[in-house]
Structure 1
Amino acid sequence: MAPGDDRKVTGLVAATFTPLDAQGEVNLSVIGPYVDYLTEKQGIKGIFVNGTTGESMSLSVAERKVLAEEWCLRAKGRMDYVIVHVGCMSLKDSQDLARHAAKIGADGIAAISPSFFKPKTAEALRRFLQEVASAAPTLPFYYYQIPSFTGVNVPVKDVIEDIEKLIPSFRGVKFSGGDLLDFGQCVGYSQPHWSVLYGMDEQLLAGLAMGANGAVGSTYNYMGCYVDEMISAFETKDLVKARTIQFKIQELLNYAIKLGFDTGVNKQLMSDVSGLHLGPPRLPLMPCSPDLAQLLLQKYHSIFD
C-alpha cells in the first residue's frame, strides 16, 4: 500500500498481542494460528502489530523486528493491512524499525510520541514524526495518539495541520484518546485519502457518529465479530441494535476495569476466548490470576453467548 495508493484503511483493525512462552521469550509459532483465528473466527482483515497491546515498549528492537517479519509473512494474502508500530523513545531506533518495516513488506507504519523526554509543542512532535517517516518514505505513515500512556496531550488537530508538507506519506491518525472535540476536529480536517481510526473500544459508536473511518483496538481480537455487527447496524441506521452491542461491550469492560483490567489481564482473556497460548505479559506487567481469568471468561460468555 504505497502512499500514492487510494486504498484507505477502514473497518476493524486488531491491535495484536505478542505471544510469549513460559520463560517470557517471543513465541513466533503462535502467530500463524493467531492469524487463522482472526480471519476465520473474528472476520478481521487488518492488524496493528507491536503497539501498546503488543507490549512494544517492553520489547527490544531485535524482538520487534522478528515479530513484525513473522506477522507480515503469516498475514500475506490473508489480511488487507498490516500496520507496524515503530515508535520508540529513541529516534534512531524508530527509524531503524521504519526501514525494516519497509523491507519486510508492511502496508504502513505508525509511531507514538516519545514519553520520557516529551515534545512540549505540536511543532516538536511534528518534527519527530517527520524524521521517523522519512526513514520509510514509501510507506503510509500514521500518527498514533495515546495520551493516557505517553502523557502527551498536544491537540492532534495541531499536529496534522498541513502535515503533508512535512510528511508526504502521511495517511492518518490512530486516535486513542477520549477527547471527542479534538477527534471531531481531526475528522473535519482529514483529507479524502486519510484514515482517521478510533482507538477507544468502549465508545467506538460515538467515534463512528463523529466520522471515524475505522477502528484499531485490542478487544477486536476476541470481540471483532460482534463489533462488526455494531458497525453494520450503524451503517444501516439501526441505532437501537448498534447501541445494544456497544452497551454489551461496555458492560464487559466496566466489569473488567473494576477487577483490575490491564494489558496482562486483556491478554489472558484473549487466550481464554481464542484457545491460543499467548503466554504471560512481560514485567513490569503481572500475569492475570486464575481466579480473575475465570471471572472474566464467565462474564464474557454470559454477555455474548
Structure 2
Amino acid sequence: MAHLADKKVTGLVAATFTPLKSNGEINLSEIGPYIDYLIEKQGVKNIFANGTTGEGMSLTVMERKLLTEEWCRKAKGKMDHVIVHVGCMSLKDSQELALHASQVGADAIAVIAPSFYKPASADVLRTFLQEVAKVAPMLPFYYYHIPSVTGVTIPVRDVLEDIEKLIPSFRGVKFSGCDLMDFGQCVSYSQPRWSCLYGVDEQLLAALAMGASGAVGSTYNYLGCHINKLLSAFDKGDLVQSRNIQFKMQELLSYAIKLGFNLGVNKSVMSEVSGLNLGPPRFPVMPCPQSTARSIAQKYNSIFLEN
C-alpha cells in the first residue's frame, strides 16, 4: 500500500464550516450533503476540517472527534484529501486528536501554534509540533500558520529549518499570513514532496506567482468553481484572466467587509449560496442577520453569475 504521504496536496482545499443546529449542538447529518455540494457544484475535492472556519477552537475534543469521523466517513471514495486540524492549547488534547485522526481515516493533520502560552522561538514551536506529530507518525503533517489569530509571528521559514529531521512525516504548511516574502522563502526551501498551501483567499494570485502548490480557504466553499478557473488560467499563463477573477473575489470581499464580514457572516453566506443548513456560529461569534447574508449573496450573483 502506498504511504499516505505520497498523495501530494494541490489545487483548492475548502476550509469547511461546522454545521450546527439552532440549539448550538453539532449537526452531523449535514456533512454528507455538504461534501456532495463541494464536489458537484464547486469542483473542490479536498477539505480542511475543524480549522478556523470550522470553529475548531470553540469545539470540545469529543465534538471534534465526532466531526472528524463523519467527515472521513462521508468523504471516503469521493474526496482526494481530508486534512484534519488537531491543534489545541493543550498538547495532550492535540495528541489525542492526532492519534484519533490517524485511526479514522484522515489523510493528513495540521496544527496551529498554541496561542495562550506562546512558543518563544522557532525551536520551541518545532518541538511542540514534533510532540503532536510523533503520535501519528504515518500521517502527513502540516504546520498551520495563522498569525492574525494566534499572535505567533515566528517566521515560517525559520520553523521549517531541518524540520524533517524532527518530523519525518512533515509534508508542508498552510500559510495564512500576508507576508509574501516569508511565504516565498518557504516555497524556495520546500522539498518536492511538500505542499505550500496559501490561506489568504484575496491574495491567492500573488501566492501562485510565488509558487504556491495550492490554497486552503473558506471562500472556496462557494467560490471554488470560479477560483478553479483562476488556477487553470494561471497554469496556462493567462494572467489577464487570472487577475480578472481575483479582482472579482476582491470586489465581493470588499463589499462583505464593509457589512462587517466575519466568521458568522461567512457561514450564513455559505448557507445562502449553497442551500445547506449550516446553522449559527458558536458563541462568542455572533450570528449574522439574514438580510446581510442575502445582500452579500446578491452581490456574489451580480459579480460572478451576471457578468
Instruction: Give the TM-score normalised by structure 1.
Output: 0.99
Is structure 2 residue 30 aligned with structure 1 residue 26? no
- CA distance in 1 between counterparts of 2:216 and 2:101 reads 19
Alignment of 1:1-305 (within 5 A): 5-305=5-305
**Deviations 1:66-98 (Å, cap 9, x if unpaired)?**
000000000000000000000000000000000
CA contact (8 A) 1:129 1:143 kept: yes
- Tell me how far 1:3 sits from its aligned partner: 5.4
**Deviations 1:190-228 (Å, cap 9, x if unpaired)?**
001100000010010001000000000000000000000
CA contact (8 A) 1:45 1:81 kept: yes
- CA distance in 2 between counterparts of 1:105 and 1:269 reads 30
**Deviations 1:218-268 (Å, cap 9, x if unpaired)?**
000000000000000000011110000000000001111111111110000
CA contact (8 A) 1:87 1:113 kept: yes
The ranges of structure 1 where at least 4 consecutive aligned residues each deviate by more than 2 angstroms after the TM superposition are 1-7
* Deviation larger for 72-81 or 250-259: 250-259
- Tell me how far 1:4 sits from its aligned partner: 6.6
- CA distance in 1 between counterparts of 2:127 and 2:52 reads 22
Structure 1 unaligned spans of 5+: none
Q: What value does the CA root-mean-square deviation take over the aligned residues?
A: 1.0
CA contact (8 A) 2:118 2:152 kept: yes
- Tell me how far 1:5 sits from its aligned partner: 3.9
- CA distance in 2 between counterparts of 1:89 and 1:2 reads 33
Aligned residues: 305
Structure 2 unaligned spans of 5+: none
Percent of paired sites with the same residue: 71
- CA distance in 1 between counterparts of 2:304 and 2:250 reads 12
Q: Aligned partner of 2:127: which letter?
A: R
- Tell me how far 1:2 sits from its aligned partner: 6.7
